């Protein structure tokens, strides 16, 4: 008798078919894994691929991690921690909720999941084609690492449909960049093989755009911030004069999720149309609107979105762009020049030129700097900052080696006759000396900046701010734990401050006798500094009777800034120099590096005149 031709498919086959729908190519796997990391609250995401993701994809995060029980569920189909009722489907808060990404990827690859929660619950699972091959203990810091090897190894047909290594790699980069732009607050590291291809340092959106699409493009973008009829549009767009971007420089997000929408693409192109038919503007737009006004097609591969009222969305986006052009026009109108803003009565009577550290002879020692527009959020543009630097200045510049040529106190009566007119601000022309110093002219004379010291100051304050905000301190597990000897006193102190150390990203364990091992250190800290930092921390605790995390925070911030700042010998682009100047001026203590070295010196016109014996 002929056996029945219809039979129930095995789970394995069902998984493989489903996997094909969800995971079309390596980039889809990367996208799903990164989204899971974001959903897990990661502040740092590392992605590494080999051979266009076909051989290897690694996505590591410092999110909340999974306990053993969740680990053993996450790779099964229709398991999710994100959707509890059907109603949740209509309130998209997280990226995923179908509970099939991990299962799909697992079904068609060799997958190793290493994960741990803050409480140390976790484990490591090695799967092949969705079946457990090995189970191990895992004791890393909280977070999850997915290692995907040989994607599509058991679906050879699909494998042959993949593009070249380069084309698959490009698609992955696209995914990484889109996500990174949607989340400038998250640190991203993307490597192809051993080569770092993209690094996104947590910061403002414009800075992230500079990292993602280039600072020369980013610096000229206009900020969008517009609300109409409950639809909010924000982001950055090309000015009408610079619209030679590339097609793929159009980014669109709805609630921070990348989407595609023909309606919006049309609204954009129509707004630019009057400025040239061939217009290819850079547009980075974030939309938000009430839940009931849109419907995201939950098919993970493509996020085409449908709006309840297409015409309305078209109009609002169109208006948002025109409104931005209009504001730009007004800001650049000769009748409303920047000098008007600079002359705001709160500081001085006279307008203060940009980068002016020298107080006008009559003024109180309160200085005002204004961030240059370059490389900064326009919303920040008009922010003014007052600080008193007179004392610092005196100390700093009375140091013997600097004292000869520097005076920040314009000599009474020696001020050159023709004090420059307080003109509307124009960026000073800056140039590099020996790829180490930046020189430029300002109203008072010549300014010379030590690029390393200045950049260190900027990064140091940023790092401090991040740390002091209680932001997660990224921890990095050491491949080879570092042994460290504690004194008796240190040993005693350690017992009581271990929890604080962990919060700071240090994971130190007793090894035997007076020896301890450092198993993880804050990512921002080079290993060489980490040991010193632990000793310092313990000493400071012993000294004060209680833990002083401030000191260690400071050590970390200093070390971080020093290693990440421009070094002497780094060639800087004009826009990088301008950005550095601007950022330096808006730091708390622009005159000193975190280590107390001067960041800049000035040769005043007066001093020049003296030198030349006028
Ligand atoms: P979904 O994201 O739709 O819930 P997935 O298959 O992508 O489904 O993931 C299944 C579950 O695995 C998630 O709901 C989450 O609980 C867990 N998970 C996946 N990736 C991570 C991660 N990086 N960190 C913590 N938990 C994760
Ligand atoms: Mg998911």
Q: Helix crossing, 26-39 with 165-182: angle to 10°?
A: 20
* Cα 142 to averaged position of ligand 2 atoms, centre (Å): 18
Residue identifier of the C-alpha nearest atom 17 of ligand 1: 74
* Cα 102 to averaged position of ligand 1 atoms, centre (Å): 7
Average pLDDT estimate for 320-333:
85
Q: Check if 473 has its Cβ closer than 6 Å to any atom of ligand 1.
A: no
Average pLDDT estimate for 33-47:
95
Q: Check if 590 has its Cβ closer than 6 Å to any atom of ligand 1.
A: no
Question: Percentage of residues in the chain with pLDDT exceeding 70?
Answer: 71
pLDDT at 463 over 70: yes
Give the pLDDT confidence score for residue 110 in this predicted structure: 97
* Cα 163 to averaged position of ligand 2 atoms, centre (Å): 24
pLDDT at 412 over 70: no
Which residue out of 31, 81, 299 has the highest number of ligand 1 atoms within 8 Å of its CB and is therefore the one to mutate? Answer: 81
pLDDT per residue as tens digits for the range 340-374: 333 333 333 333 333 333 333 333 223 233 333 33
Question: Percentage of residues in the chain with pLDDT exceeding 90?
Answer: 34
pTM of the complete model: 0.56
Indicate which ligand has the atom closest to the C-alpha of 99: 1
What DSSP string runs through 231-290?
EEEEEEE--TT--B--GGGEEEEETTEE-B-HHHHHHHHHHHGGG-TT-B--EEEEEE--
Indicate which ligand has the atom closest to the C-alpha of 40: 1
Q: Check if 62 has its Cβ closer than 6 Å to any atom of ligand 1.
A: no
Give the pLDDT confidence score for residue 373 in this predicted structure: 30
Give the pLDDT confidence score for residue 595 in this predicted structure: 87
Which residue out of 28, 39, 42, 298 has the highest number of ligand 1 atoms within 8 Å of its CB and is therefore the one to mutate? Answer: 39
Q: Check if 80 has its Cβ closer than 6 Å to any atom of ligand 1.
A: yes
Q: Check if 457 has its Cβ closer than 6 Å to any atom of ligand 1.
A: no
Nearest Cα residue to 456 out of 357, 570, 343, 545: 570
Average pLDDT estimate for 277-291:
85
End-to-end CA distance of the chain: 116
Ligand 1, closest atom to CA 59?
Answer: 23
pLDDT at 570 over 50: yes
Give the 3-state DSSP-derived string for 157-185, with helices as H, strands as E and coil as C: HHHHHCCCHHHHHHHHHHHHHHHHHHCCC
pLDDT at 460 over 50: yes
Query: Alpha carbon of 538 to those of 98, 488, 494, 571, 594: distances in Å?
Result: 47, 11, 7, 40, 22
Give the pLDDT confidence score for residue 515 in this predicted structure: 87
Q: Check if 113 has its Cβ closer than 6 Å to any atom of ligand 1.
A: no
Please tell me the distance from the alpha carbon of residue 369 to that of residue 433, in angstroms, as a whole number: 25
Residue identifier of the C-alpha nearest atom 16 of ligand 1: 81
More confident of the two residues 595 and 317: 317
Average pLDDT estimate for 19-46:
90
Average pLDDT estimate for 310-334:
86
Give the pLDDT confidence score for residue 5 in this predicted structure: 66
Residue identifier of the C-alpha nearest atom 14 of ligand 1: 80
pLDDT per residue as tens digits for the range 201-251: 898 999 999 989 888 888 889 999 999 999 999 999 998 877 665 656 889
pLDDT per residue as tens digits for the range 63-95: 999 999 999 999 987 666 665 555 554 444 444
Residue identifier of the C-alpha nearest atom 27 of ligand 1: 36
pLDDT at 501 over 50: yes
Please tell me the distance from the alpha carbon of residue 540 to that of residue 534, in angstroms, as a whole number: 10
* Sheet bearing 257-258, strands edge to edge: 222-228, 231-237, 283-288, 250-254, 257-258
Indicate which ligand has the atom closest to the C-alpha of 111: 1
Q: Check if 41 has its Cβ closer than 6 Å to any atom of ligand 1.
A: no
Q: Check if 81 has its Cβ closer than 6 Å to any atom of ligand 1.
A: yes
Q: Check if 107 has its Cβ closer than 6 Å to any atom of ligand 1.
A: no
């Amino acid at each position: 008798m002929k056996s029945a031709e219809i039979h129930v498919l095995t789970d394995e086959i069902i998984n493989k078919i489903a996997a094909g729908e969800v995971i079309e190519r390596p980039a889809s796997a990367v996208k799903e894994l990164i989204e899971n990391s974001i959903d897990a609250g990661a502040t740092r995401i590392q992605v590494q691929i080999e051979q266009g993701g076909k051989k290897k994809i690694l996505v590591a995060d410092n999110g909340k991690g999974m306990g053993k029980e969740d680990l053993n569920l996450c790779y099964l189909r229709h398991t999710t921690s994100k959707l509890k009722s059907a109603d949740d489907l209509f309130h998209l808060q997280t990226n995923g909720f179908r509970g099939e990404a991990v299962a799909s990827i697992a079904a068609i690859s060799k997958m190793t999941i290493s994960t741990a929660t803050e409480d140390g619950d976790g484990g490591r699972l090695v799967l092949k084609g969705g079946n457990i091959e090995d189970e191990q203990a895992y004791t890393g810091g909280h977070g999850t690492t997915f290692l995907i090897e040989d994607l599509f190894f058991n679906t050879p047909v699909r494998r042959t449909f993949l593009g070249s290594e380069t084309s698959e790699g490009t698609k992955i980069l696209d995914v990484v960049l889109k996500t990174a732009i949607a989340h400038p607050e998250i640190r991203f590291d993307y490597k192809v093989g051993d080569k770092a291809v993209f690094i996104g340092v947590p910061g403002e959106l414009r800075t992230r755009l500079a990292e993602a699409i280039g600072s020369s493009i980013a610096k000229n973008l206009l900020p969008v911030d517009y609300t109409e009829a409950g639809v909010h549009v924000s982001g950055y767009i090309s000015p009408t004069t610079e619209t030679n971007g590339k097609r793929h420089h159009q980014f669109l997000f709805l609630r921070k999720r990348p989407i595609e929408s023909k309606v919006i693409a049309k609204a954009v192109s129509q707004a630019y149309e009057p400025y040239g038919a061939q217009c290819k503007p850079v547009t980075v737009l974030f939309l938000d609107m009430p839940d009931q006004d849109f419907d995201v097609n939950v098919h993970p591969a493509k996020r085409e979105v449908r709006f309840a009222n297409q015409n309305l969305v078209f109009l609002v986006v169109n208006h948002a762009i025109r409104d931005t052009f209009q504001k730009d026009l007004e800001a650049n109108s000769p009748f409303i020049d920047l000098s008007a803003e600079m002359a705001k009565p709160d500081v001085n009577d006279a307008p203060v030129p940009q980068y002016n550290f020298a107080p006008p002879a009559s003024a109180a020692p309160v200085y005002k700097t204004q961030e240059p527009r370059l490389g900064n959020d326009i919303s920040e543009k008009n922010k003014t900052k007052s600080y008193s630097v007179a004392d610092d200045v005196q100390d700093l510049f009375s140091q013997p080696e600097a004292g000869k040529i520097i005076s920040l106190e314009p000599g009474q009566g020696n001020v050159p006759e023709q004090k420059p007119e307080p003109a509307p601000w124009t960026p000073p022309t800056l140039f590099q000396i020996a790829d180490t110093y930046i020189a430029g002219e300002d109203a008072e004379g010549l300014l010379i900046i030590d690029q390393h010291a200045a950049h260190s100051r900027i990064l140091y304050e940023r790092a401090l701010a991040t740390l002091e905000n209680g932001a997660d301190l990224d921890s990095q597990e050491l491949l080879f734990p570092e042994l460290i000897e504690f004194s008796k006193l240190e040993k005693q102190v350690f017992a009581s401050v271990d929890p604080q150390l962990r919060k700071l990203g240090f994971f130190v364990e007793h090894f035997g006798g007076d020896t301890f091992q450092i198993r993880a250190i804050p990512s921002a800290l080079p290993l060489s500094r980490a040991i010193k930092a632990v000793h310092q921390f313990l000493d400071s605790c012993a000294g004060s009777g209680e833990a002083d995390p401030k000191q260690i925070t400071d050590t970390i911030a200093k070390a971080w800034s020093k290693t990440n700042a421009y070094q002497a010998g780094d060639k800087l682009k004009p826009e990088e120099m301008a950005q550095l100047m601007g950022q330096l001026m808006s730091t708390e203590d622009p005159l000193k590096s975190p280590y107390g070295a001067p960041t800049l010196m000035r040769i005043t016109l007066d001093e020049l005149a003296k030198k030349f014996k006028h």
